[in-house]
């Protein structure tokens, strides 16, 4: 795909800077800060943040927690806590303070100047992991775009002693003229990145359209990070995609052929995992790779059934699916890691119409994989809808599409020249048609029932 890119630029080979890993041995030493906002302390949130930090190759020196009812305006934590953190930084020789919350640019600056140490918030940390993981050309462009968008809102003049330091994002504190130049450069670079991403995404679209024309359904694995998507991908396709007990192990989508009985060849896509409070800039930068998901015929929503927060994780994933407009794609829930649970055997759950809606499996222990194939088969095959559609003479394009899909069973012409067409169509094809021709939506029987 590299050859597709012909835009030249002065900043051609700028590597993605990461806020972390600027110390010599490549590992930052960090102090973690977490604020509890309710009586019952949510330790899982903190545990997840530790996993995030570890996934970013950071050594955790110390964890500072505190309870507040609301964030304090100046430092997010209270004055006393902030001073305590500053003291800890001095004693422990930490390189960075990681705060498990979204800080305002001012709070970041204030903490940095009080503690004389870099401060990275939750969004910054997630962006950083993505920057470390980006491998493909497109992935790198997307991460850089997200970082610059994040940075653009944070470029302000500051008067700290850190001003002179150069290097990683989060370190720069330019003077006013420098600031203007930086702003302009960032704007230019953002435009350039968007331009290039558009080209890469065109290529991706073409590939997808070729698949759609050839009627090859795409099945996309989605789910919370670390749920076991890549392990399942490998299990289903006998591939060897990187799966690891770390967050965001997968960044670039990987596609493989998967043969399903009664359906034929399908394409299975492994994708980036989601997390609660996924930075909006990242979601929007990753729109094009996530399109694999938006336009899939079926989503396998992989859930870590052994996670005590599985319900919250499901909701966090659904929120992102909604944001990328994939919430209408047919979904099969895949409860994974049942080997860790005592009383659950592999099985399929059906809805009232005897349609499989959930499967309980273990990708790693190889339990229930045959059931999953069976559920996929049932979901992708023979959901044939019978519909009557009335088209105005000007809607010839839609009529043409019906004929191309070979789904017209009867056609009459009404007095005013409208076509009354009866079709029998695969539900998945129908949903794709609604995407292409939104004016078909009122004919959707699923919607009508609601």
Ligand X SMILES: Nc1nc2c(ncn2[C@@H]2O[C@H](COP(=O)(O)OP(=O)(O)OP(=O)(O)O)[C@@H](O)[C@H]2O)c(=O)[nH]1
Any contact of residue 289 with ligand X (CB under 6 A)? Answer: no
Instruction: Identify the residue among 21, 225, 254, 293 touching ligand X (CB under 6 A).
Output: 225
371: its two tokens: 């059931």
| Under 8 Å between Cβ of 60 and 32 | yes
Is residue 249 within the footprint of Mg ion (CB under 5 A)?
yes
Long-range contacts: 181-185, Cβ < 8 Å, 24+?
Answer: 182/155, 183/152, 183/155, 185/11
The interface region with ligand X, picked from 113-121, 335-343, 396-404, 411-419 by CB under 6 A, is: 335-343
- Name the packing angle between helices 122-133 and 137-152 (round to 10°): 160
Using rule CB under 6 A, residue 229 touches ligand X:
yes
Position among 192, 266, 336, 378 found at the interface with ligand X (CB under 6 A): 336
100 binds Mg ion, rule: CB under 5 A: no
Least distance between ligand X and beta carbon 223 (Å): 6
Which option in ligand X, Mg ion, none does residue 225 bind, with CB closer than 5 to 8 A by kind? ligand X
Contact 33, 83 (CB under 8 A): no
* CA atoms in the 13 A half-sphere facing the CB of 37: 8
DSSP state for residue 344 in the 8-state scheme: -
Q: Which helix (H) or strand (E) holds 439?
A: none
Calpha distance 255→407 (Å, rounded) = 29
Neighbours of 331 (CB within 10 A): 20
- 244 in contact with ligand X (CB under 6 A): yes
> Smallest gap, in angstroms, from Cβ of residue 32 to ligand X?
20
176 binds, among Mg ion, ligand X, none (CB under 5 to 8 A by kind): none
Q: Which 3 state secondary structure label does DSSP give 406?
A: coil
Place of tokens 């997307």: 142
Q: Find the binder of ligand X among 237, 364, 395, 444 (CB under 6 A).
A: 364
With tokens 């902030």, the residue in question is 82
- Is there binding between residue 313 and Mg ion (CB under 5 A)? no
Comparing CB distances to Mg ion, the nearer of 169 and 267 is: 267
- Nearest approach in angstroms of CB 250 to Mg ion is 3
Nearer to ligand X, 189 or 301 (CB): 301
248 touches ligand X (CB under 6 A): yes
Q: Is 245 in the site for ligand X (CB under 6 A)?
A: yes
* Interface positions with ligand X (CB under 6 A): 223, 225-231, 243-245, 247-250, 273, 336-337, 339-340, 362-365
């Amino acid at each position: 795909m590299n050859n597709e890119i012909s835009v030249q630029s002065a900043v051609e080979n700028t590597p993605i800077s990461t806020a972390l890993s600027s110390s010599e041995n490549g590992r930052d030493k960090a102090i973690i800060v977490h604020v509890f906002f309710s009586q019952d302390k949510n330790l899982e949130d903190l545990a997840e943040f530790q996993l995030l930090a570890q996934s970013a190759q950071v050594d955790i020196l110390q964890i500072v927690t505190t309870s507040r009812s609301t964030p304090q305006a100046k430092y997010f934590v209270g004055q006393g806590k902030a001073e305590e953190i500053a003291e800890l930084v001095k004693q422990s020789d930490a390189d960075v303070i990681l705060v498990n919350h979204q800080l305002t640019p001012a709070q970041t600056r204030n903490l940095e100047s009080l503690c004389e140490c870099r401060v990275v918030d939750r969004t910054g940390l997630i962006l950083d992991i993505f920057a470390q993981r980006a491998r493909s050309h497109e992935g790198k462009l997307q991460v850089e775009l997200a970082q610059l968008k994040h940075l653009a809102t944070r470029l302000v003049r500051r008067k700290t002693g850190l001003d002179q330091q150069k290097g990683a994002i989060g370190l720069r504190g330019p003077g006013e003229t420098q600031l203007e130049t930086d702003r302009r450069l960032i704007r230019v670079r953002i435009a350039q990145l968007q331009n290039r991403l558009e080209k890469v995404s065109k290529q991706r679209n073409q590939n997808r359209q070729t698949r759609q024309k050839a009627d090859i359904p795409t099945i996309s694995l989605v789910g919370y990070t670390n749920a076991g998507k890549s392990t399942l991908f490998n299990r289903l396709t006998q591939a060897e995609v990187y799966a690891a007990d770390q967050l965001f192990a997968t960044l670039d989508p990987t596609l493989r052929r998967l043969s399903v009985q009664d359906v034929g060849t399908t394409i299975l896509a492994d994708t980036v995992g989601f997390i609660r409070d996924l930075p909006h800039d990242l979601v929007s930068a990753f729109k094009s790779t996530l399109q694999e998901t938006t336009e899939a015929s079926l989503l396998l929503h992989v859930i870590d059934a052994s996670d005590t927060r599985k319900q919250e994780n499901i909701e966090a994933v659904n929120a992102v699916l909604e944001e990328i407009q994939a919430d209408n794609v047919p979904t099969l829930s895949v409860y994974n890691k049942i080997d860790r649970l005592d009383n659950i055997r592999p099985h399929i759950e059906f809805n009232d119409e005897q349609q499989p809606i959930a499967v309980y499996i273990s990708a790693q222990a190889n339990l229930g994989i045959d059931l999953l194939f069976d559920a996929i088969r049932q979901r992708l095959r023979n959901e044939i809808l019978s519909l009557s559609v009335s088209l105005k003479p000007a809607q010839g394009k839609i009529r043409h599409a019906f004929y191309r899909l070979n789904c017209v069973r009867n056609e009459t012409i009404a007095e005013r020249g409208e076509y009354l067409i009866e079709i029998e169509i695969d539900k998945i094809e129908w949903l794709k048609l609604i995407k292409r021709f939104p004016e078909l939506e009122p004919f959707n029987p699923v919607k009508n029932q609601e």
